[in-house]
């Protein structure tokens, strides 16, 4: 459990950040320049905020009221910096093992596995100078992980990586977080990545926490959407696989009904997380006929957020499930959308983006 | 009139400053003394330095300069000096007979015995007295007399072989003994008159009884006019 | 320092002039040399490097003597400069500046070279892709980024030039008002017993001047460092 | 028209790259370490390949056979480096105007517009040192663009940017390329970004060109998919808006039929580009009934690529339109899929990813 | 150089020993001082800086004289060292090394400091987050990255130590086999008419030694630079 409550002034921006990150993966989301790196630096002990308190479980990392301050080296965190910061005079191997050696550990058991996973086995004898951007970033990820940290801080670690690599690495990070109980503080501006990984999401805007809480709640919050960019708005839906049909469609039970997903390789009984982008949800007052009859859920309007542009965001709920829908203001008026209105959410099974598909509690090798 | 440039051995500084001062008052001609090691000055004169008069601390460098000049130049000694043994004051006497190894103590400061005039004379004197073999290991050599004197004044050396003129000016040392004048080559300061028209009268002044008295008052030995 | 007479002030002023001229005039050449040594690939680079270091290795008297042999009025080069350009170096303050400059040169070159070698070549490349020619890259990127080294070089060289004694007295002698610098004046005082106080007074002046130069340079380089900014300056 | 044909040896990899980039935006796609940055460096004149020829239109940038070599400063390109490379001693303004000044131009007319677009107006008086990762990258983009280059080289320029910013910048790059006729060589590992931007795609793998050609062809090529990562496979479909229906669905004509898209704000008559991910396409031998009846297109199997894993990639064609479908090997066998087989592609309207939606020839302010 | 006799070889060997010891022993202190000046925030920093530069500014004779006053056997400090550690400096080669080290110190400090200031503090921070304590950060990150400056400092200091004359002879005099270094021998020859050839011969030796030192250091620093790699080394 990480507790952050800090205030700090930069010439151009004032940071005032307070959030709690329970176990698991906490994603800091926010636009460029909003203060994400500054927060993670404060947790790492690299930025010493003017005032505030940071604690990780029982350990107080900083408490300006009591003058307490733990230097970075004693915080035992693994930090993947936004700009890699490899040691230029050390080989890739020595970079990777730097933390383990400083902490007096031998070569960690997962060294070889991680080399494979990061596809850097062929680089170990080289020095950082000639590495490509992505290679540097992969080595930096490995370096932080091999330090056997108590907590992992990752500042846009995947920004330079291709989808294939990313797809292999994300499950590894999940395993680390859930399997080994290493909490992760993860900065990204990619909402799909956040939806994929996050247990908790903290949205930062202009140096302030715009919202924070469980990933599902935050992503379905229409108030948060404008901060992240309306384009990227979408909700996370928890479901359980009921059956895999012969035609390849997977039937998933969610609050309010059943969804049918193509190309999902989950087994019956498994819990999965689905991401439904707001732009993929239509609202109908009557159960539509003749359109895709597969994924239609009865819902109630639970929140309405009219933006400055031509669009509105409508939150739709059924039990614990929440969806976001993006509609035009004209539609909003035409349909008379208001909180409490019962209606139907129309979504295509395939609107469940692949990247947002996520096994909860799964622990297979990546 | 153009000032007279006198290139003089650095150890002559005090007395020549005073002489220049008096000459300027007397003749209305400024005397600009240029002090450095005799060898340095000699080389500069040979290279064309604008010197009117060169006063060397030994005959080696005055002879060398004469050899390099493409015209004859008059030379005369304008002062002499005595070689003395100094120790840290208070202490010492001024006898000549009592020069024994014990007098020198464990460390003897001298000028470079192969290069600096006072060092060369000192070595000659010790050899003449039959002490060099024994004392050589105790000798520490400085790059000029002044350095040797400083070793004694600082208490780093137990004794030093310096000029009487130096000993007179340093209050922290006392003269323990004087070398017999016969134990080494005669110590003279030869003056080479490079520009007789310009520096001749000043040289005459230095050789005059007033000039010689001045030298004597700074601890130098006067020389008979016309000798050297 | 209230005790400084007119003659001493003259010595101070002359020293400042000589050290200043020596430092400023050798700067462009030092930058050029640092460049050649850091970036150049040519035969004889090791030799150039050795020559630059020579004044450090040799006793100053030897350097001064070599200068005397080269630039004396009777020497071919000295006569040539005299005839062609009316430039006399021997026994002039200009010669003192030359001697001081040469003695300080290796220090300046090294400092500049170190700064030069610490520059990320990627920045110069970036400037080139933005259309900067060699000269423009140098003037707008390399030179400003070399500033810490240039400043350090200037301070070292100025201090060294201020303190230079052996080569100066050997080359240009000890002519009051022309080549009698602070160290030479101090030496002259030290040559005569009992003048330690006067020597010490001048030594104080030398220390004060160099302290001022150092403070100035630190102030400038703090500004430069602030401009370049630190990664985690906020910590 | 950019022509590249180079060979160069690094200790770890041999580059042998040959491609042509016609007008417009050419995207270099490839995994981390495949050689993308090296290629762009060769075009910029930063890497001097052992041998080869590079020409841009009439201008020969390098021709090792003739010993010709144009130094970077004369190539007149704008390069956005992977690691930003801002000048630390210059203010953001001076960084931005560096190229214009070197080329003796005044303050470019679009200076203010670009400041707004990149949201860096408030940064102009600062120095790079305190900037956040995204801020640095935005300044670097501005710097390259303001140099009024003959061609723009962009090495993963958006990696550090949030979706909102990206969504504003991408159209600007398109306008620059099409409106002002500045060709762009754009490196990315993000296939959606490539699909969004690319006129031409060059796929690089292990220092070699794995495929190159018009974006639609490359993305629909099942042979290319494994290189890019099967997850990301998908095709681009050209269409023309026919009608916007009252229920918000936009009807788009494509070769082989009509598609119905929700939330698309294009006007009738406009040409648009749609992206259909392979995982969102199902294949049916009979026209399905009861499923989404909206987006079903009659097609013919035009290529089959069985991968090493459990999946196969099937290319489906109708006229000039090509789709990719990802199916399991079991399905492939069960359906008897082979080249020439007529069948139906079933895709949900919403499977047309928002990011892949792209107006062709549109020129609105970003 | 075939003409070197046993006595000359002794001079050469002694000079090497003195310059080597001076350089190596002052290195740790120079690193410490460079650190304090580059990173420290304390009162009297400017003063420390000025003191470090002093040997450059003052005529060497003054420095030598000051050392003599401090370390003479009957000076308090000299007596203390003698009594407590049996360490005699005056008139010993150790004293010559001390003098040479002090004269070379400012050069070494500056070079090291420049390198230190060019290090990206982000790397040290990264090492800290990986659990490195202050000492470990220094030993594994800062020190290796300072290598170019340390090398440059060593070369400069060695060259300077090899050439030091004024402070050395004033402090420890000229004792054959103990304190008679190359510059002192060269100076002695130059003081006697007609011995220029012998002086020149020794000057050649000095040049040869420093050339060797420079070549060695360049070779090492080329290796260091290769290790650190250049951004666009391939160009
Ligand atoms: N100067 C160099 N010395 C040695 N190897 C190099 C050098 N430059 C590049 N390489 C190697 O060449 C390969 C291609 O590098 P390049 O930077 O072109 O990759 P990239 O496709 O841009 O990758 P990324 O997406 O990670 O930036 C990499 O394996 C890299 O390690
Ligand atoms: N040392 C500093 N001095 C001045 N301003 C700073 C400093 N560090 C950060 N800032 C400013 O604080 C704001 C937040 O910076 P931060 O690096 O935390 O952003 P971020 O959210 O990580 O952005 P990005 O996604 O672009 O990396 C930015 O506007 C930045 O310019
Ligand atoms: O002037 Mo001298 O040469 O010091 O003895
Ligand atoms: Mg950041
Ligand atoms: Mg790259």
Could you report the per-residue pLDDT of D41-100, keeping only the tens digit for each?
Answer: 999 999 999 999 999 999 999 999 999 999 999 999 999 999 889 999 999 999 999 999
- Residue C150 in any domain: the answer is yes
Q: Is the pLDDT of residue E99 over 50?
A: yes
Non-local CB neighbours of D312 within 8 Å, separated by 6+ positions = D304, D305, D306, D326, D327, D328, D329, D331, D332, D337
Q: Are residues D127 and D71 in the same domain?
A: yes
Mean pLDDT, chain E, whole residue set = 88
Q: What whole-number distance in Å separates Cα of residue D292 and Cα of residue A280?
A: 14
Angle at the Cα of C9 from the Cα atoms of C7 and C15, rounded to 5 degrees: 105
Q: What is the CATH number of the domain that holds D125?
A: 3.40.50.300
Q: What is the CATH number of the domain that holds E96?
A: 1.10.3720.10
> C228 and D44: CB-CB below 8 Å?
no
pLDDT > 90: percent of chain A? 42
A46 lies within 8 A of chain C by CB: yes
Measure A135 CA to ligand 5 centroid, in angstroms: 9
Q: Is the pLDDT of residue B59 over 70?
A: yes
User: E 158-177 residues with CB below 8 A of B?
Assistant: 166, 169-170, 172-175
- Residue D50 in any domain: the answer is yes
Non-local CB neighbours of A100 within 8 Å, separated by 6+ positions = A106, A107, A108, A146, A147, A148
Q: Are residues A211 and A242 in the same domain?
A: no
How many separate domains does chain A show? 2
How many separate domains does chain E show? 1
Residues C64-81, mean pLDDT to the nearest whole number: 88
Q: What whole-number distance in Å separates Cα of residue E15 and Cα of residue E179?
A: 8
> C230 and E121: CB-CB below 8 Å?
yes
Measure D34 CA to ligand 1 centroid, in angstroms: 7
> For position E111, what pLDDT does the model report?
94
- Tell me if E172 sits within 8 A of E179, measured CB to CB: yes
Locate C166 and state its tokens: 């052996």
Q: Which of these ranges, B15-19, D156-160, D269-273, E167-171, has the smallest mean pLDDT?
A: D269-273
Pairing of strands A14-21, A2-9: antiparallel
Measure D212 CA to ligand 1 centroid, in angstroms: 20
- Residue A228 in any domain: the answer is no
With a 6 Å cutoff on the Cβ, whether E6 touches ligand 1 is: no
- Residue E193 in any domain: the answer is yes
Mean pLDDT, chain A, whole residue set = 83
**pLDDT, tens only, D112-152:** 999 998 999 999 999 998 899 999 999 999 999 999 899 99
Q: Are residues A44 and A178 in the same domain?
A: yes
Residue identifier of the C-alpha nearest atom 8 of ligand 1: A130
Residue identifier of the C-alpha nearest atom 17 of ligand 2: D132
Q: HSE on the CB side for B55, CA within 13 Å? A: 25
Residue identifier of the C-alpha nearest atom 31 of ligand 1: A131
Name the strand (E) or helix (H) holding A210.
strand A208-214
A88 lies within 8 A of chain E by CB: yes
Quick one: which ligand is closest to D81's CA?
5
What stretches of chain A show up as alpha helix (H) in DSSP?
36-44, 92-102, 111-118, 133-146, 163-174, 191-197, 215-219, 225-228, 329-335
> For position A263, what pLDDT does the model report?
57
The DSSP result for A102-151, as a single string, is HTT--S-TTHHHHHHHHT-GGGTTS-GGG--HHHHHHHHHHHHHHT--SE
Beta-carbon neighbour count of residue C135 at 10 Å?
A: 8
Residues of B in contact with E194 (CB under 8 A): 64
Handedness of CA C34, C39, C45, C50 (dihedral sign): positive
Non-local CB neighbours of E178 within 8 Å, separated by 6+ positions = E14, E91, E92, E93, E172
Q: Within chain D, which residues score under 70 in pLDDT?
A: 229-232, 246-249, 262-265, 288-294, 307-310, 347-366
> For position B227, what pLDDT does the model report?
41
Residues A168-185, mean pLDDT to the nearest whole number: 86
Q: By three-state DSSP, how is residue A187 classified?
A: strand
- Residue D225 in any domain: the answer is no
- Residue D241 in any domain: the answer is yes
- Residue C1 in any domain: the answer is no
Residue E1 confidence class, pLDDT cut points 50, 70, 90: very low
Q: Are residues A114 and A238 in the same domain?
A: no
Question: What is the DSSP secondary structure assignment for residue A310, as one 8-state letter?
Answer: S
Q: Are residues A63 and A209 in the same domain?
A: yes
Q: Are residues A166 and A276 in the same domain?
A: no
Q: Which domain holds residue E57?
A: 6-234
Pairing of strands D208-214, D200-205: antiparallel
Residue identifier of the C-alpha nearest atom 4 of ligand 3: B144
> B156 and E190: CB-CB below 8 Å?
no
Q: Is the pLDDT of residue C107 over 90?
A: yes
Q: Is the pLDDT of residue B6 over 90?
A: yes
Closest CA to A237 of A200, A279, A270, A274: A274
Q: Are residues A156 and A255 in the same domain?
A: no
Q: Are residues D194 and D264 in the same domain?
A: no
Residues of A in contact with C235 (CB under 8 A): 46-48
Residue A28 confidence class, pLDDT cut points 50, 70, 90: very high
Interface test with A, best of E129, E136, E221 (most A CBs within 10 A): E129
Q: What whole-number distance in Å separates Cα of residue D112 and Cα of residue A207?
A: 25
With a 6 Å cutoff on the Cβ, whether D9 touches ligand 1 is: no
Measure D199 CA to ligand 1 centroid, in angstroms: 25
- Residue C61 in any domain: the answer is yes
Q: Are residues D36 and D171 in the same domain?
A: yes
Instruction: Show which of D198, D220, D242 is a domain's final residue.
Output: D220
Interface test with C, best of B12, B43, B47, B171 (most C CBs within 10 A): B47
> For position D23, what pLDDT does the model report?
86
> E183 and C59: CB-CB below 8 Å?
yes
Q: Which domain holds residue D183?
A: 2-220
Closest CA to A16 of A32, A4, A28, A25: A4
Residue identifier of the C-alpha nearest atom 16 of ligand 1: D35
**pLDDT, tens only, E53-74:** 889 888 898 899 889 889 888 7
Q: Is the pLDDT of residue A16 over 70?
A: yes
Instruction: Round the CA-based radius of gyration of chain E to a whole number and report it.
Output: 20
Q: Measure Cα distances from C120 to C114, D74, D87, E183 in Å.
A: 12, 22, 10, 40
> For position C99, what pLDDT does the model report?
95
Locate D338 and state its tokens: 């082979």
Q: Which residues pair with D59 in a beta bridge?
A: D56
- Residue A298 in any domain: the answer is yes
Residues B2-23, mean pLDDT to the nearest whole number: 92
- Residue E1 in any domain: the answer is no
A125 lies within 8 A of chain E by CB: no
- Residue A264 in any domain: the answer is yes
Residue A112 confidence class, pLDDT cut points 50, 70, 90: very high
Q: Are residues A168 and A259 in the same domain?
A: no
| A45 or E222, greater pLDDT | A45
Pairing of strands B108-111, B139-142: parallel
Instruction: Report the gap between the CA of D167 and the closest CA in chain A (Å).
Output: 8
- Residue C55 in any domain: the answer is yes
> For position A265, what pLDDT does the model report?
63
- Tell me if A250 sits within 8 A of A259, measured CB to CB: no
Chains B vs C: touching, with 3+ CB pairs under 8 Å? yes
């Amino acid at each position: 459990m990480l507790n952050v409550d800090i205030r700090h002034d930069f010439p151009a921006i004032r940071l005032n950040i307070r959030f709690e990150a329970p176990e698991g993966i906490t994603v800091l989301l926010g636009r460029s320049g909003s203060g994400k790196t500054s927060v993670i630096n404060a947790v790492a002990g690299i930025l010493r905020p003017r005032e505030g308190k940071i604690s990780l479980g029982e350990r107080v990392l900083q408490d300006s009221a009591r003058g307490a301050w733990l230097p970075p080296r004693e915080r035992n965190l693994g930090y993947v910096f936004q700009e890699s910061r490899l040691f230029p005079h050390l080989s890739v191997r020595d970079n990777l093992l730097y933390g383990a050696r400083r902490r007096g550990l031998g070569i960690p058991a997962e060294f070889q596995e991680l080399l494979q996973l990061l596809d850097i086995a062929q680089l170990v004898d080289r020095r950082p100078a000639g590495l490509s951007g992505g290679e540097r970033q992969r080595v930096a990820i490995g370096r932080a992980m091999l330090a056997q940290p108590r907590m992992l801080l990752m500042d846009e670690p995947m920004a330079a990586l291709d989808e294939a690599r990313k797809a292999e690495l994300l499950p590894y990070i999940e395993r680390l977080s859930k399997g080994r109980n290493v909490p992760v503080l993860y900065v990204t501006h990619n909402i799909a990545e956040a939806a994929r990984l996050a247990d908790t999401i903290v949205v930062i805007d202009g140096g302030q926490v715009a919202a924070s809480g469980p990933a599902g709640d935050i992503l379905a919050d229409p108030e948060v959407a404008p901060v992240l960019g309306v384009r990227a708005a979408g909700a996370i839906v928890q479901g359980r696989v009921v059956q895999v049909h012969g035609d390849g469609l997977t039937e998933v039970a969610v609050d309010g009904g059943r969804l049918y997903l193509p190309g999902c390789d989950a087994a019956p009984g498994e819990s999965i997380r689905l991401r439904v982008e707001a732009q993929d949800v239509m609202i109908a007052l009557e159960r539509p006929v003749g359109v895709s009859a597969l994924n239609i859920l009865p819902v109630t309007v639970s929140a309405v957020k009219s933006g400055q542009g031509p669009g509105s965001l409508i939150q739709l709920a059924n039990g614990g499930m929440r969806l976001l829908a993006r509609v035009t203001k004209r539609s909003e008026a035409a349909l008379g959308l208001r909180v409490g209105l019962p209606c139907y959410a129309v979504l295509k099974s395939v609107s469940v983006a692949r990247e947002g598909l996520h096994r909860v509690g799964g622990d297979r090798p990546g | 009139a153009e000032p007279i440039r006198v290139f003089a051995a650095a150890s002559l500084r005090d007395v020549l400053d005073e002489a220049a001062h008096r000459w300027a008052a007397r003749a209305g001609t400024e005397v600009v003394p240029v002090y450095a090691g005799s060898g340095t000055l000699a080389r500069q004169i040979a290279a064309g330095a604008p010197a009117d008069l060169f006063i060397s601390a030994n005959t080696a460098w005055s002879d060398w300069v004469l050899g390099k000049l493409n015209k004859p130049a008059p030379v005369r000694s304008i002062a002499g000096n005595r070689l003395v043994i100094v120790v840290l004051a208070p202490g010492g006497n001024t006898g000549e007979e009592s020069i024994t190894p014990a007098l020198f103590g464990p460390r003897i400061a001298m000028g470079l015995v192969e290069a600096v005039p006072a060092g060369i004379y000192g070595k000659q004197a010790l050899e003449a007295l039959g002490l060099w073999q024994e004392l050589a290991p105790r000798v520490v050599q400085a790059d000029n007399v002044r350095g040797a004197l400083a070793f004694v004044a600082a208490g780093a050396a137990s004794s030093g072989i310096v000029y009487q003129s130096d000993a007179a000016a340093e209050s922290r040392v006392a003269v323990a003994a004087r070398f017999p004048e016969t134990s080494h080559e005669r110590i003279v300061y030869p003056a080479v008159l490079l520009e007789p028209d310009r520096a001749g009268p000043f040289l005459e002044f230095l050789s005059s009884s007033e000039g010689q008295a001045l030298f004597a008052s700074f601890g130098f030995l006067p020389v008979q006019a016309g000798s050297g | 320092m209230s005790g400084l007479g007119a003659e001493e002030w003259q010595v101070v002023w002359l020293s400042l002039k000589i050290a200043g001229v020596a430092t400023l005039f050798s700067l462009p050449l030092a930058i050029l040399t640092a460049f050649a040594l850091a970036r150049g690939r040519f035969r004889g680079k090791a030799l150039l490097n050795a020559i630059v270091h020579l004044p450090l290795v040799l006793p100053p008297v030897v350097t001064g003597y070599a200068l005397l042999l080269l630039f004396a009025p009777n020497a071919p080069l000295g006569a040539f400069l005299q005839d062609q350009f009316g430039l006399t170096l021997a026994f002039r303050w200009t010669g003192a500046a030359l001697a001081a400059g040469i003695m300080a040169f290796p220090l300046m070159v090294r400092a500049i070279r170190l700064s030069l070698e610490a520059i990320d070549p990627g920045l110069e490349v970036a400037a080139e892709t933005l259309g900067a020619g060699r000269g423009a890259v140098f003037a707008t990127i390399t030179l400003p980024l070399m500033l810490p080294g240039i400043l350090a070089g200037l301070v070292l060289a100025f201090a060294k030039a201020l303190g230079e004694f052996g080569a100066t007295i050997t080359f240009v002698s000890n002519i009051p008002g022309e080549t009698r610098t602070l160290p030479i004046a101090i030496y002259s005082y030290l040559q005569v017993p009992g003048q330690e106080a006067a020597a010490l007074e001048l030594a104080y002046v030398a220390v004060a001047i160099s302290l001022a130069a150092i403070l100035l340079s630190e102030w400038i380089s703090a500004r430069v460092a602030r401009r370049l900014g630190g990664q985690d300056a906020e910590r």
